[in-house]
Amino acid sequence: MSVKPNVLLLGGTTEASRLALLLAERGITAIFSYAGRTESPRPQPIPTRIGGFGGVAGLAAYLREHRITHLVDATHPFAAMMSANAVAAAGLTGTALAALTRPGWQPEAGDRWTRVSGLDDAVEALAGPRRRIMLALGRMHVDAFAAQPQHHYLLRFVDAPEHPPALPYHSLVVDRGPFAARTDRDLLRAHAIDLVVSKNAGGSGASAKLVAARQLGLPVLMIDRPALPDRREFHFPQDVLHWLGHDPSPGTERGV
Ligand code: NAP
């Protein structure tokens, strides 16, 4: 006899929000979890909790206390700590675990990518004369670039920062995706950008800057994804439903 699912959905991505909607529509019992990084997280159609669990032990305790049967890790591909904790806590408690994650971006004809394996390597790769750089990284990571203070950086954050970034020369745009290639092209032109630094997040919401860079012939410094422990992975919310024992409605499209 299959167990009625009681899901903990680790969110913070577009994919997590899509899955939350499907869970709500099917009446599957689930709790959505945000880290609490943004001031106004997108409201969800299922009960929501906010804040860290307190490492592996805290998450394991939460899974036990709330009798979670299925843990779905739909965090960002660069949220390596949370994803590693999810694997460990699921193992400790015997909770079924699946990740809902997007495939990484691949270079296309016309792309001028240089790949680096992490933030430190990206900072190091920027040694040299002053350039105008779009740092498409999120506010948690930009201060590391103070080690290359000679550049002018274009930053785009979801929320206005409480403290100004530690970069002597920068412009700041506050905006929330998804973004369009046309407007990102205008943005890159308006700021006379000559290099884009990006994490290989994958998905469609943040790919506009790469399309814009390709169209303008600009180089991209692409930070590869962190390594994660082995786990069951799905790329489509409908496949998670199937795993939970709920078949998607006939005719459901597999959107990306
Ligand atoms: P991280 O470094 O992997 O996680 C650091 C800690 O934040 C975790 O150990 C956990 O704290 C807490 N945490 C992370 N995600 C959580 C969640 N969904 N629910 C409850 N606690 C969570 O993560 P991060 O890179 O800071 O990302 C934080 C959030 O922002 C994630 O939800 C992620 O999906 C989203 N996000 C991240 C990026 C990115 O580039 N990293 C981009 C877009 C969105 P405890 O150890 O106390 O449990």
Residues 146 and 70 placed together within one structural domain of the fold: no
Q: What is the DSSP string of 123-144?
A: HHHT-SS--EEEEES-HHHHGG
* 81, 100, 140, 156: residue to mutate for ligand 1 pocket, most atoms within 8 A of CB: 81
Q: What pLDDT shows up at residue 251?
A: 45
Q: What is the pLDDT of residues 193-221, one digit of tens each?
A: 999 999 999 988 789 999 999 999 999 99
Q: What is the pLDDT of residues 38-69, one digit of tens each?
A: 888 999 999 999 999 999 999 999 999 999 99
Residues 120 and 216 placed together within one structural domain of the fold: yes
Residues 182 and 212 placed together within one structural domain of the fold: yes
252 occurs within a structural domain: no
| Contact 202 CB / ligand 1 (< 6 Å) | no
Quickly tell me which residue has 């032109």 as its tokens: 189
Residues 33 and 127 placed together within one structural domain of the fold: no
The count of other CB atoms within 10 Å of the CB of residue 238 is 20
Helices and strands in the chain: count of H runs, count of E runs: 8, 12
Q: What are phi and psi of 36, to 5 degrees?
A: 95, 30
Tell me how many degrees the CA angle 128-129-131 measures, rounded to the nearest 5: 110
Tell the residue nearest (CA) to atom 1 of ligand 1: 79
1 occurs within a structural domain: no
CATH number of domain containing 139? 3.40.50.1980
* 76, 223, 228: residue to mutate for ligand 1 pocket, most atoms within 8 A of CB: 76
Residue 133 pLDDT greater than 80, yes or no: yes
| Contact 81 CB / ligand 1 (< 6 Å) | yes
81 occurs within a structural domain: yes
Q: What is the pLDDT of residues 218-240, one digit of tens each?
A: 999 999 999 999 999 999 999 99
Residues 69 and 135 placed together within one structural domain of the fold: no
Quickly tell me which residue has 């012939």 as its tokens: 217
The total domain count for the chain is 2
Residues 158 and 218 placed together within one structural domain of the fold: yes
Separation of alpha carbons 222 and 197, rounded Å: 6
- Domain range for 235 is 6-102+227-244
Residues 83 and 168 placed together within one structural domain of the fold: no
**Could you tell me the distance, in angstroms and rounded to a whole number, from the CA of residue 114 to the centre of ligand 1?**
27
253 occurs within a structural domain: no
Instruction: Report whether 177 contacts 156 (CB < 8 A).
Output: no
Residues 30 and 80 placed together within one structural domain of the fold: yes
| Contact 42 CB / ligand 1 (< 6 Å) | no
Instruction: Report whether 71 contacts 64 (CB < 8 A).
Output: no
Residues 127 and 211 placed together within one structural domain of the fold: yes
Residues 142 and 202 placed together within one structural domain of the fold: yes
Torsion of CA 248, 254, 255, 256, to 10 degrees: 110
Q: What is the pLDDT of residues 173-183, one digit of tens each?
A: 999 888 999 99
Chain centroid, CA 196 distance in Å = 18
**Could you tell me the distance, in angstroms and rounded to a whole number, from the CA of residue 184 to the centre of ligand 1?**
26
Q: Which tokens hold the place of 105? A: 């971006």
Q: What pLDDT shows up at residue 253?
A: 42
CATH number of domain containing 73? 3.40.50.720
